[in-house]
Each structure stands twice: as structure tokens, then as C-alpha cells.
Amino acid sequence: MNDTLTRFCLHLALTPGVGAVSFRSLLEHFGSAERALGASASELAEVPGFGAKRADEVARARDAIDVRPEMELAARHGVAIAAFGSPAYPVALTYLAAPPPVLYIRGTMVPEDARAMAIVGSRRCSLYGQEQAERFGAGLGQSGFTVVSGLARGIDIRAHMGALASGGRTVAVLGNGLASVYPPEHEARAREIVERGALVSEFPMGMLPSPENFPRRNRVISGLSLGVLVVEAGQRSGALITASIAAEQGKEVFALPGRVDTPFTVGTHKLIQDGAKLVHSLQDILDEFAALRLPAAAESGQATLPLGPALDPQEEAILGSLDVDPVTADDLAERAGLPVAAVTANLTLLELKGLVRSVPGPRYVRRT
């Protein structure tokens, strides 16, 4: 955790006025976090989205930052900090339009976590919804999927419980810093998750939960997952935000139908009307990903190289469009004649197969 890249990315992440969107702009403009940290206010003003006033404010705030207290606090809580561009940073998050500059991780994330499904839903939910969240969490865990959710009351915690009960892995994405667990009554369950997965957050260690944090948290839940299953969601449920983000990211969205005379399923049924895949059994999800075979971990803990059948036509088109010069997903989509969502989904698999490498930007290059 004490490597130079971590310090540079953490420094930018802690700088007031630098969020995930501006972090990406800085990387694209300067090429690295180190160069962004060394840039003058006048150089910062040339970054798209920055002006002279904002650049001056960011430069002053940046120069006052000391990352050591944050790193020491993380170490005391057993939390690792994975910087964007480092081997510990989850590959799937590099495809986000605005990836977190750093990800705080308490527990372990392994290559098999790339085969992940999110289960989300409302905090206020029915007994039926709780039972189904636990049922699908267990089924996915037994089937080799890592279950991703938000540790919240209601559907989220029951999805984690199902995965744990099945002996599977689970990852909880929090809307607060990892110096504490929210809600506090899930502290014991959080410790179980750390033993069989991880708690993760993009927020500084001492950050308290607040409403504006949860849409950012939801994009990470979706970003870590191949698809999202909404078990129960009311008309204004945050789970609908996760589903919307998933659709924008080109991920599969599944929805479990429920009773028509309860407010708990209004949002879920609207998702189905809008094109989400209706699910009534685990097999409906497994069939969708039947051809997906991801690398297993070698004894060293590193992912093995390609498994499974030959590349499909889309993967071949994308790989054939790559060379030694890094390109963006948008450029690849144009070269390969494919939708951007299809390109980003296939890039994940190609990188996991060891055929593609991502570099800050994010941009992509073919491995030799």
C-alpha cells in the first residue's frame, strides 16, 4: 500500500475539488497522477473542465494535503488502498466513465471476483423479498458467482447472508469510509464478509454516510458486476438507480416479479416493463451467462491464462482492432463496428484472458 502510485492517486483523491470525473480529466491531460500533482495552477487551467479560478483553488488545496494520516488510519483498520492503474485495482472498474481514483479494500479481492452478480433492492421490503434475496444469493454463491451488494438493511444484507451461507464469496460496497460500518448493526456480518470477500469503498476512511454518497456507491456495485438482479424496489428505491447505471454500462439487468398489491414491487415491475429480464429461478440468470468461463486463480493467487472455447466474433473483431498503441473503448467501437457497450463488456473478458492490457485513461493495448 505504500507504493508511489498509491500516494499520488490518494493525494489527488483527497484534494478538495478533485472528484472521479476530474481525476480522469487530469490523467488524460497529464498522462499520470504524478504529473498532475506537479502541475502549476496555469497548467491545471488548461485541463478541460478547469478554469483559472478552479485551477488556483485546486492547486492550493492540493499543496496542503498530507496523505500520511489517511494511510496510517487505513493500516490501523486493516484496509488496503488500491490505486487506479495498480495490479490490485479491480479490472472491471477501469471501464467506468469516472473510475474511483482509489479503492479502499478491507478483506481480499481475487481474480474469480470478476464473475460477479449484484443483488439489490429496497431497505423497506417484504418477508418474501428478504427470502428471495437470500435464496438467490445462496444460489449464485453455490454457482461460483461473487455476490455484490451494499450491506444496507433489507434486500442487501439478506443477499450477503445467502452468499455466506452457501460458502460463496461476497463483496459489500459501502457509502461511507471503512473506519466504520453502516448500518452499525451489521458490524458482525461485515466481519464475516471480510473473511469471505471484502468491504470496499471509494470514500476516505472517516467519511460518514450521506445521501449524495449512495449514487456513487451504486455505480461501483454495478461496475464490479456482470449483471444486476433487483429483488424488490419501490417507486423511489435507490436500487432503480443501480439498475439504470447498469443499463448505461451495458450490463444485464434482471428483475424478480412480486405481488401487484404492494408498494414494494412498483419499481421492479416498471423495470420489467422497460425491458429488464424477468427472473423466476436461478437458472434464468445462469442461462444468460452459460458461455462465460473466466480464469481461475493459480496456486500463486494469480489468474491463469485463457480458458474455454475460441474467441467469439466480437472478441476477434476487438482484438484485431488493437495494436501496440493504446486506444479508448470509443475508438475501438468505431474500428470494430460494434456498440460501445459491447466493446467494454468484451474488453473485460479479453483482459481477464490475458490478451488485453488497460493503461490509465482508460485506454487499451494488445498484449504481446
Which amino acid is residue 201, in one-letter code?
A: S
pLDDT value, residue 84: 94
- The pLDDT of 319-335, averaged and rounded, is 84
**Least trusted range by pLDDT, from 6-10, 151-155, 270-274:** 270-274
Report, as an integer, the average pLDDT of 243-252: 86
231 neighbors 121 (Cβ within 8 angstroms): yes
CB 158 within 8 A of CB 185: no
* DSSP calls for 29-86: HHSSHHHHHH--HHHHTTSTT--HHHHHHHHHHHHT---HHHHHHHHHTT-EEEETTS
Given a cut of 90, whether residue 116 has pLDDT beyond it is: yes
- What is the average per-residue pLDDT within 234-241? 82
Domain with CATH 1.10.10.10 in the chain: 313-366
Q: Is there a contact between 251 and 225 (Cβ–Cβ < 8 Å)?
A: yes
Indicate whether 291 pLDDT > 60: no
pLDDT band at 295 (very low <50, low <70, confident <90, very high): very low
**Using CA atoms, how far apart are residues 80 and 4, in angstroms rounded to an integer?**
14
The residue type found at 48 is: P
Please state, in angstroms and as integers, the Cα–Cα distance from residue 127 to each residue in 77, 124, 154, 307, following that order.
Answer: 35, 10, 9, 41
Mean predicted confidence (pLDDT) in 214-218: 92
Q: To the nearest whole percent, how much of the chain has pLDDT over 90?
A: 59
Q: Where in the chain is the domain with CATH 1.10.150.20?
A: 4-105
Q: Does the pLDDT at position 171 exceed 90?
A: yes
How far is residue 207's CA from residue 13's CA, in Å, rounded to a whole number? 13
CATH 1.10.10.10 fits 313-366, yes or no: yes
Fold classified for 110-171+208-288: Rossmann fold (3.40.50)
- As given in the structure block, the three cell numbers for residue 152 are 444496507
pLDDT at 352: 62
CATH class of 4-105: mainly alpha
Does the structure show a pLDDT above 90 at 105? Answer: yes
Evaluate if residue 308 carries a pLDDT over 80. Answer: no
Alpha-carbon torsion 147, 248, 16, 10, what sign?
Answer: positive
Identify the sign of the CA torsion 318, 31, 245, 292: positive
Indicate whether 301 pLDDT > 60.
Answer: no
Q: Nearest Cα to 197, choosing from 151, 240, 260?
A: 151
d(CA 177, CA 180): 7
Mean of the pLDDT values across residues 52-67? 94
pLDDT higher than 50, residue 349: yes
What's the whole-number average pLDDT of the chain?
88
Strand 80-83 with 102-107, pairing: antiparallel
pTM: 0.79
> What integer pLDDT is reported at residue 176 of this predicted model?
97
Residues of the chain with CATH 3.40.50.450: 110-171+208-288
* Residue 355: pLDDT band with limits 50, 70, 90: confident
Contact 154/132 with Cβ under 8 angstroms? no
* Mean pLDDT of the region 115-144: 93
Q: 226 exposed, middle or buried (CB, 10 Å; 0-12, 13-18, 19+)?
A: buried
Q: Are 235 and 266 in contact (CB under 8 A)?
A: yes
pLDDT at 2 over 70: no
